[in-house]
Amino acid sequence: MLNYSTSEENYIKAIFHLQQEDGTVTTNELAAELKTKPASVTDMMKKLKTKKLVHYEAYHGFRLSNEGKKLALIIIRRHRLWEFFLAEKLKFSWEEVHAVAEDLEHVSSKKLIDKLDEFLGFPRFDPHGDPIPDANGRIETSKQVCLTELPLNKTAIVCHVSDQSSEMLEVLGHKNIMIGTRLEVKKRFDFDNSLEIKTGKQAATTISDQLARNIYVKTA
Amino acid sequence: MLNYSTSEENYIKAIFHLQQEDGTVTTNELAAELKTKPASVTDMMKKLKTKKLVHYEAYHGFRLSNEGKKLALIIIRRHRLWEFFLAEKLKFSWEEVHAVAEDLEHVSSKKLIDKLDEFLGFPRFDPHGDPIPDANGRIETSKQVCLTELPLNKTAIVCHVSDQSSEMLEVLGHKNIMIGTRLEVKKRFDFDNSLEIKTGKQAATTISDQLARNIYVKTA
DNA sequence: AAATATTTTTAGACAAACCTAAAAAGAATT
DNA sequence: AATTCTTTTTAGGTTTGTCTAAAAATATTT
């Protein structure tokens, strides 16, 4: 794997994110995303094409090649591992981690990132709930979200509880909810944001907003 | 404090190191240090002069201004804290830390570095024994060296023992050597690299090479 | 399908950081 | 003190990544 400039890496990352939704990405879209001008985007696309990181025909948009996708996943891996480090070890708040990780992600030592991963205990999600690609570039397809944000009737699996107090564990135990439990939100009551939950074949239970805020799930 | 480019930071750091010995630094010296050409150095010196980081008159060498020194200490702080992190937390070897820290040192968030410092327990020396400037830019004047490298008859203070085994502590206890002990090396025997040590008013003792390798001191 | 509007690309400039080759300044030698 | 040698600076050029303004291609509207 060759070495790429900070600028090239930022383009690759932005294309990756945009093409998740769009499939193919346009010059104006990318210019807006990167806060640069369309002319600059065209220049860069020509370069990334000669480096075989994107497929690109003039006037017809672009998308990442397989090489480009691999690179994008490496950069996203670096970014999310640093975010995890900042939040978990340095006690940065949730909102602060992104900006600093934007700089750290361009330090390109593979060994650094793999050792950092190990040091952190191979975390699977960053502090925003986004999945972290592994050393081979494999990434989980679903984002980890708070139970309060899970759409109705969408099956999901509990993967994290942020408050481990015995009081909390008591309620969870009573309701038969634990890491790995498969569940769906059947109803959301606007009055107090409480949720009606269905787990497996059991009868439905109601969960308070306060409890739901501490439960994180990923869609199956 | 403004923001400086990676290149500017590398020049500032190099001038700092060179002027430790020389007082004032010449164009050729700096070009050699940075593996660049003299003409490039002149270009950069003009720029750093307008930014008031160096004192510079054409044909008469240069040295850092107070602003420049402050910046140099910030960069050195970042570098050495990252080196410590890499060695201590990520288990990089001694020889590997420098190259990676060369990249990490240019990430300029002050908050990042101060939180990293705290996370690491405010270490005072990097893995090579060089002192780490504190958050205010204050730095110890002496380098930490292995007892095997201490010049004869130079008073030094024990500040670290790398092997904490009970066997090791037994010898040290018996010889009345502990953290903070003031000592001098009186003689070095070439045959087995053993050392004759004088501590305070006590009679001299002899220390094996094996023991000396685990004792680190700084000159008072 | 022709006219108009939008998007994208080209053409030409600029700043940062580097380079080579030539000129100028300073140091060393006779 | 004049000459030679070395160091440093200037002058002009390159690459990377950006920009503006104009031209070309595509899309949309009538």
Å between CA of A38 and C1' of D22 = 14
pLDDT of residue B163: 84
Q: Mean pLDDT of all residues in chain B?
A: 95
Query: In which domain, by residue range, is B108 found?
Result: 69-119
Residue B128 domain-assigned (yes or no): no
Looking at beta carbons, which residues of chain A come within 8 Å of B90? 112, 115-116, 118-119
Q: By CA distance, what is B101's nearest residue in A? A: A107
Looking at beta carbons, which residues of chain A come within 8 Å of B103? 107-109
Residues B209 and B176 in one domain: yes
Residue A35 domain-assigned (yes or no): yes
Which has more confidence, A34 or B178?
A: A34
> Considering only CA atoms, which residue is closest to the C1' of nucleotide D7?
B28
Looking at beta carbons, which residues of chain A come within 8 Å of B116? 90
For the cut 80, the answer to whether the pLDDT of residue A2 exceeds it is: no
Residues B17 and B56 in one domain: yes
Among B17, B33, B64, which residue terminates a domain? B64
pLDDT of residue B9: 98
> Which uninterrupted H or E stretch holds A208?
none
Token couple for A149: 């944000």
pLDDT of residue A56: 97
Residues B80 and B107 in one domain: yes
> Considering only CA atoms, which residue is closest to the C1' of nucleotide D26?
A59
Residue B136 domain-assigned (yes or no): no
pLDDT of residue A194: 95
For the cut 80, the answer to whether the pLDDT of residue A1 exceeds it is: no
pLDDT of residue A156: 93
A92·B115 Cβ contact <8 A: yes
Å between CA of A30 and C1' of C5 = 21
Looking at beta carbons, which residues of chain A come within 8 Å of B96? 111
pLDDT digits (tens, 9 = 90+) for A78-109: 999 999 999 999 999 988 999 999 999 999 99
Residue A200's CATH number: 2.30.30.90
Residue B173 domain-assigned (yes or no): yes
pLDDT of residue B132: 97
pLDDT digits (tens, 9 = 90+) for A102-157: 999 999 999 999 999 999 999 999 988 899 999 999 999 888 899 999 999 999 99
Residues B115 and B166 in one domain: no
> Which uninterrupted H or E stretch holds B195?
strand B195-199
Among B80, B101, B119, which residue terminates a domain? B119
User: In whole angstroms, what is the distance from residue A44 CA to residue A54 CA?
Assistant: 10
Residues of chain B contacting A, Cβ within 8 Å: 86, 89-92, 96, 99-100, 103-104, 107-109, 111-112, 115-116, 118-119
Of the candidates B76, B73, B63, the residue with the CA atom closest to the CA atom of residue B23: B63
Residue A194 domain-assigned (yes or no): yes
For the cut 80, the answer to whether the pLDDT of residue B160 exceeds it is: yes
Q: How far is CA B104 from the centre of its chain?
A: 17
Residue B10's CATH number: 1.10.10.10
pLDDT of residue B142: 87
pLDDT of residue A138: 97
Token couple for B220: 């008072």
For the cut 80, the answer to whether the pLDDT of residue A180 exceeds it is: yes
Å between CA of B127 and C1' of C19 = 37
Residue A90 domain-assigned (yes or no): no
Residues B149 and B215 in one domain: yes
Measured CA distances, B190 to A120, A184, B147, B194 (Å): 46, 77, 15, 8
Chain A: give the shortest CA distance to residue B69, in Å.
24
β partners of residue A157: A182, A218
Share of chain B above pLDDT 70, in %: 100
pLDDT of residue A111: 98
Q: Which of A32-36, B35-39, B177-181 has the lowest mean pLDDT?
A: B177-181
A72, A18 contact by CB (below 8 A): no
Output helix, strand, coil percentages for chain B, rounded to the nearest 5.
45, 15, 40
pLDDT digits (tens, 9 = 90+) for B72-120: 999 999 999 999 999 999 999 988 999 999 999 999 999 999 999 999 9
Question: Which nucleotide comes closest to A10 if you measure CA to C1'?
Answer: D17
Residues 59-98 of A with CB under 7 A from strand D: 59
Å between CA of A103 and C1' of D26 = 38
Amino acid occupying residue B173: G
Residues B168 and B206 in one domain: yes
Of the candidates B33, B17, B27, the residue with the CA atom closest to the CA atom of residue B48: B27
Q: How confident is the model at residue A161 (pLDDT cuts 50, 70, 90)?
A: confident
Residue B161 domain-assigned (yes or no): yes
Residue A165 domain-assigned (yes or no): yes
pLDDT digits (tens, 9 = 90+) for A44-90: 999 999 999 999 999 999 999 999 999 999 999 999 999 999 999 99
Query: How many domains is chain B built from?
Result: 3
pLDDT digits (tens, 9 = 90+) for B11-21: 999 999 999 98
Q: Mean pLDDT of all residues in chain A?
A: 94
pLDDT of residue A159: 86
Amino acid occupying residue B50: T
Amino acid occupying residue A60: H
User: In whole angstroms, what is the distance from residue A31 CA to residue A27 CA?
Assistant: 6
Question: Which nucleotide comes closest to B28 if you measure CA to C1'?
Answer: D7
Quick one: angle between helices A27-34 and A38-50, nearest 10?
110
Å between CA of B66 and C1' of C29 = 39
Looking at beta carbons, which residues of chain B come within 8 Å of A97? none
pLDDT of residue B202: 81
For the cut 90, the answer to whether the pLDDT of residue B212 exceeds it is: yes
Residues B73 and B57 in one domain: no
Q: By CA distance, what is A115's nearest residue in B? A: B90
Measured CA distances, B59 to A177, B13, B37, B40 (Å): 76, 21, 16, 14
Q: How confident is the model at residue A26 (pLDDT cuts 50, 70, 90)?
A: very high
